[in-house]
Amino acid sequence: MEPASDGNERLAGDTADAVLPPSVAKRREQVFPRLKPDEIDRLRRFGKLKSWKPGEFLFEGAAPSPGMLVLLRGRVLMTRKNGLGEHERIVEHGPGQFMAEVGSLSGRPSLLYARAVGSVEALLIDPPSLRAALIVEAELGERIMRTLILRRVALFETGTGGPVIIGTPGSARVMRLQGFLSRNTHPHTVLDVARDPCGAEIAKVHAPAPDELPLVVCPDGTVLKRPTEQALARVIGLLPDLDPDRVYDVAIIGAGPSGLAAAVYAASEGLSVIVLETHVIGGQIGASARIENYLGFPTGISGAALAGRAIVQAQKFGADIAVPAPVTRLDCNGDPLAIHIEGGMRIAARSAVIATGATYRRPGIPRLANYEGRGVHYWASPIEATLCRGEEVVLVGGGNSAGQAAVFLAAHAGHLHMLIRGSGLERTMSSYLIERIAALPNVTLHVESEIVALEGDRKYLTGVRWRDRRRGTEETKPVRHVFLFVGADPHTGWLEACGVKMDPKGFVVTGNAMTPDEYGRGVRATRDRPPLPFETTVPGIFAIGDARAGSNKQVSSAVGEGAAVVPQLHAWLGHGRQA
């Protein structure tokens, strides 16, 4: 059934509902539940009644989400726009069903279009009221939340509703955008400009020069040529407009496990929270294909899945999220703090939590920078795994992240060469990972070995040469993909002008690790109490996770610190300089 037309839109394809991806296909009743009359009655106090005429949009893709709509009368057709601007049918909803997904919690731009089929009446629950309903109506809220998550999974796995990237698959520029969207669990589609008819047709219309690829067609019809991650994020709503006049209770800088834990606990306790992330939600744990020693997950969980659940929790409790939002400077001498973000943005907060983790360490390999994104990777996700399917690859590193990546990549690569500088893995890797790697028939461990040269043309890596330091021999392999997991350095350089003390390695000093004379600087200074355990030399600024000096570099420890810092935030916010 086609919706009423306004003369400018048309429905592409057939009139059958879209097929759900395998991961959720057997849970269709949970993806498209029907609420009972008494459940709808319980939701009425959170919303207001609205009506639409035949053919009217209840909401449109790329426009801010109105929240959740519970259909009371009539039918609503859900569609998405493809790269050519045509509407493609997703599903048709009837009375008792509701329209929402994870983005509805925060009012982020809608991924789909909803149009009335005949006259429609619905209960509109805006984002703040939706979050309240999920908390107050616990049992019903759990069912609704499960639906929101499953719908986002379905949208992500099919690419439905997100931007369309048109370029050369596997190229550095396409992978940069594809990786950014994937690691932030945002739906998207990649079309080959040379081989896909639709991709070629879109490119023909917009006629980009070779250096303007890839093209990105956004859900609102905007076409971007070779955009940066920040430019793309602005259009699709991952990077919202930030109000410089609003004062948050706490700004959490970094969305790794410690920052996400702090966001969840702080927001759930009523604090106004904003999370600023430089690259991707989850930080370095996103590179972990499977974490098997995290409490409560006996079968393991991927870092991306763990981060995805945490970010939904934070949004459920009302935390604002901005990505990519690299913080360039923190003005610590004012009250509130002024936090400056790349691109000229600025926000204000009464306190700040430094949870910036670490940046990937780049070993001193000649010409390394030439092949970053062109065969050299610091991440092992399904994107990279697809590129090296059946091929010979090299992985460098002996820590747990390297071990998890090796196990994951071995399931896709033809053969994996694992290079470590030490004489074995026992001192740097968990035993369960060592045992698993030893059992993999297509993994060869090269001890006391290091890469000495990369070979390739101007576009891609074509070979790797490494040296066995024990034997003094060198070996060359025609390898197109190298994965580097050789540790990381604290991402704290942006703090240098703030007065926050760091140790010689760049880790932030907190609590009793500082001397009494070092604590309390600037107009925020206080001398009538000792620093709180996670507080820095600047009162009201805290540090947790991998960026903190003396931290235990484990996911569980990072999450624990994220939870433990929240009572200290309350102490600062509640008593300030009189604490």
- pLDDT tens digits for 345-368? 999 999 999 999 888 888 999 999
The structure tokens listed for 4 are 């009423």
Same domain, 418 and 312: no
Q: Within a 10 A sphere around the Cβ of 357, how many other Cβ atoms?
A: 26
Count of domains observed in the chain? 4
Separation between Cα atoms, residue 292 and residue 330, nearest integer Å: 37
What helix, strand, coil percent values describe the chain, rounded to 5?
30, 25, 40
C-alpha separations of 497 from 333, 379, 492, 493, 500 in Å: 11, 31, 11, 9, 8
Degrees, nearest 5: CA angle 49-52-55: 155
In terms of DSSP bridges, do strands 48-52 and 113-125 run parallel, antiparallel, or are they unpaired? antiparallel
Q: Which of 127, 158, 189 is the last residue of a domain?
A: 158
Same domain, 36 and 148: yes
Q: Which residue, chain included where needed, has tokens 């604090």?
A: 271
CATH number for the domain that contains residue 425: 3.50.50.60
Same domain, 291 and 338: yes
Q: Given this model, what pLDDT does residue 521 score? A: 59
- Residue 531: cis peptide before it, omega within 30 degrees of 0: no
Same domain, 565 and 425: no
User: In 247-398, where do the E strands start and end?
Assistant: 247-248, 250-253, 273-276, 320-322, 327-331, 337-341, 345-349, 352-354, 358-360, 376-377, 392-396
Same domain, 480 and 393: yes
Average pLDDT over residues 135-163: 93
Same domain, 386 and 520: no
Same domain, 153 and 169: no
Asked if the structure places residue 242 within a domain, the reply is no
Q: Which of 192, 210, 236 is the last residue of a domain?
A: 236
Confidence band (pLDDT; 50, 70, 90) for 99?
Answer: very high
- Residue 80 predicted with pLDDT over 70: yes
Q: Given this model, what pLDDT does residue 523 score? A: 52
Q: Given this model, what pLDDT does residue 335 score? A: 84
Look at the chain and count its residues: 579
In terms of DSSP bridges, do strands 358-360 and 376-377 run parallel, antiparallel, or are they unpaired? unpaired
pLDDT tens per residue across span 181-197: 998 989 999 999 999 99
pLDDT tens per residue across span 212-255: 999 999 988 889 999 999 999 999 999 988 999 999 999 999 99
- Look up the pTM and report it: 0.89
Separation between Cα atoms, residue 150 and residue 24, nearest integer Å: 7
Segment holding 365, helix H or strand E: none
Asked if the structure places residue 5 within a domain, the reply is no
Confidence band (pLDDT; 50, 70, 90) for 427?
Answer: very high
Q: Could you tell me which residues are beta bridge partners of residue 125?
A: 68
Asked if the structure places residue 519 within a domain, the reply is yes
Same domain, 18 and 84: yes
- With contact defined as beta carbons under 8 Å apart, do 303 and 318 qualify? no
Q: Given this model, what pLDDT does residue 498 score? A: 84
Burial 535-561 (b: 16+ CB within 10 A, else e): bbbbbbbbbbbbbbbebeeebebbbbb
Confidence band (pLDDT; 50, 70, 90) for 1?
Answer: very low
Residues in CB range of 433: below 8 A, 6 or more apart: 400, 403, 404, 407, 425
- Domain of 381 in residue numbering reads as 368-486
Q: What value does the mean pLDDT of the chain take?
A: 90
- 42 versus 387: the higher-pLDDT residue is 42
SS3 assignment, position 506:
coil
Separation between Cα atoms, residue 128 and residue 145, nearest integer Å: 14
Same domain, 375 and 352: no
- Residue 336: cis peptide before it, omega within 30 degrees of 0: yes
Asked if the structure places residue 4 within a domain, the reply is no
Same domain, 263 and 123: no
User: In 378-535, where do the E strands start and end?
Assistant: 392-396, 415-419, 443-446, 449-456, 461-468, 473-477, 482-484, 488-490
In terms of DSSP bridges, do strands 57-59 and 98-99 run parallel, antiparallel, or are they unpaired? unpaired
* Cα distance from N-terminal residue to C-terminal residue, the chain: 65
Residue at 311: amino acid letter: I
Cα dihedral sign, 542-548-550-555 = positive
- Residue 578 predicted with pLDDT over 70: no
C-alpha separations of 238 from 59, 149, 230, 292 in Å: 18, 17, 9, 30
- Residue 4 predicted with pLDDT over 50: no
- With contact defined as beta carbons under 8 Å apart, do 289 and 301 qualify? no
Share of the chain above pLDDT 90, in %: 68
The pair phi, psi for residue 172, each rounded to 5°, is -60, -40
DSSP H helix total and E strand total for the chain:
14, 30
Q: Could you tell me which residues are beta bridge partners of residue 473?
A: 468
Separation between Cα atoms, residue 41 and residue 316, nearest integer Å: 22
Q: Given this model, what pLDDT does residue 459 score? A: 80
Q: Given this model, what pLDDT does residue 319 score? A: 96
Asked if the structure places residue 536 within a domain, the reply is yes
pLDDT tens per residue across span 440-477: 999 999 999 999 999 998 788 999 999 999 999 999 99
Q: Given this model, what pLDDT does residue 291 score? A: 81
Asked if the structure places residue 225 within a domain, the reply is yes
Comparing CA positions, the residue from 36, 35, 46 lying closest to residue 124 is 46
Same domain, 468 and 328: no
The structure tokens listed for 130 are 């939706």
CATH number for the domain that contains residue 197: 3.40.30.10
CATH number for the domain that contains residue 66: 2.60.120.10
Q: Given this model, what pLDDT does residue 481 score? A: 96
Burial 244-282 (b: 16+ CB within 10 A, else e): eeeebbbbbbbbbbbbbbbbbbbbbeebbbbbbbbbbbb
Q: Which of 209, 236, 263 is the last residue of a domain?
A: 236
Q: Given this model, what pLDDT does residue 563 score? A: 97
Q: Given this model, what pLDDT does residue 115 score? A: 96
In terms of DSSP bridges, do strands 376-377 and 482-484 run parallel, antiparallel, or are they unpaired? parallel
Separation between Cα atoms, residue 35 and residue 70, nearest integer Å: 9
Q: Given this model, what pLDDT does residue 81 score? A: 82
- Residue 6 predicted with pLDDT over 60: no
C-alpha separations of 271 from 258, 376, 507 in Å: 17, 41, 27
Same domain, 350 and 493: yes
Separation between Cα atoms, residue 446 and residue 468, nearest integer Å: 8
Asked if the structure places residue 6 within a domain, the reply is no
Asked if the structure places residue 3 within a domain, the reply is no
SS3 assignment, position 113:
strand
SS3 assignment, position 527:
coil
Report the half-sphere exposure of 235 (CA within 13 A, side-chain side): 19
Q: Given this model, what pLDDT does residue 525 score? A: 63
Comparing CA positions, the residue from 29, 278, 27, 260 lying closest to residue 157 is 27
